Amino acid sequence: MKLINEKAIYVLWIREVKKFVRVKSRIIGTISMPLLFLVFLGFGFSKMTLPGVPNNINYIKFLVPGIMGMSILFSSIFSGITVISDRQFGFLKEIMVAPVSRVSIALGRIAGGATIALIQGTMILLITLLMGFEIISVWAFILSLIFMILISMTFISFGLIFASRMKDVHGFQLIVNFVVFPVFFLSGALYPLNNLPAVIRYLSFIDPLTYGVDGMRAAFTGFSVFPVYADLIVMVIISSAMVLLSAYLFEKSKIL
């Protein structure tokens, strides 16, 4: 049996995408909260000067990459719920007895989740254009897509690691909530990292989302804590490691 089965990956990828596209309420739900953050926080603080941020960058410009990162984080990590629901409804058992490796199954789910997260992030970005946000160049847009993919791959893999070892949806949500909110607030999505106390700032440096948000912010505004190439290198390393780890643990887990 091949370790990587391209057809199995494609089938699981297209299944995840079709499930997302066909459920209109899911599409609305995934963009409603980010838009609320953008409208109330963006316009509410748009006239304020942010310490440590150049004067030509208002809060909406600063906030948009952070909200995109938030949307991708939440949708990606909670995609692990589909693994648990598929186990409960028997679909997981059916694909597990098929002559394909578990690694292919894991990669198919990661690919599908990353595509959905990319669609969500792009939708939010396009909507922000109506709020006065500007994409400075085609290169900036392409670079933001790369960071969105890397963020989604990282946290889909993270969710898959937890989901492959749990059987209860509520337990999964409870544990993941303890992870999601610290990751979000430590990432600098809502405020500049340089304004945080030193101890908290150092904690943010071990948060993968920090580098994803910082990279998108560098692409869109030219302002960032780290050089954009450093953000990109760190995200490539982290996302690759998380994908490999999730595939390995999914392969070894007693999931049925």
Is there a contact between 5 and 100 (Cβ–Cβ < 8 Å)? yes
Is there a contact between 192 and 116 (Cβ–Cβ < 8 Å)? no
Question: Which among 17-21, 22-26, 145-149, 172-176 has the top mean pLDDT?
Answer: 145-149
Question: Which pTM value belongs to this model?
Answer: 0.87
Quote the radius of gyration of the chain (alpha carbons, Å). Answer: 19
Six-digit token pair at 229? Answer: 């190439």
Domain boundaries, the chain: 6-252
Residue with the bigger pLDDT between 25 and 255: it is: 25
Mean pLDDT estimate for the chain? 81
pLDDT at 126: 86
CA distance 226 to 144: 15
Least confident of 34-38, 99-103, 230-234: 99-103
Q: Does residue 1 register a pLDDT over 50? A: no
Q: Does residue 214 register a pLDDT over 70? A: yes
* Residue 195: partners with Cβ closer than 8 Å, 6 or more residues away: 51, 52
CA distance 177 to 21: 26
Which residue type, as a one-letter code, is found at position 85?
Answer: S
CA distance 203 to 193: 11
User: Residue 31: pLDDT band by 50, 70, 90 thresholds?
Assistant: confident
pLDDT at 210: 93
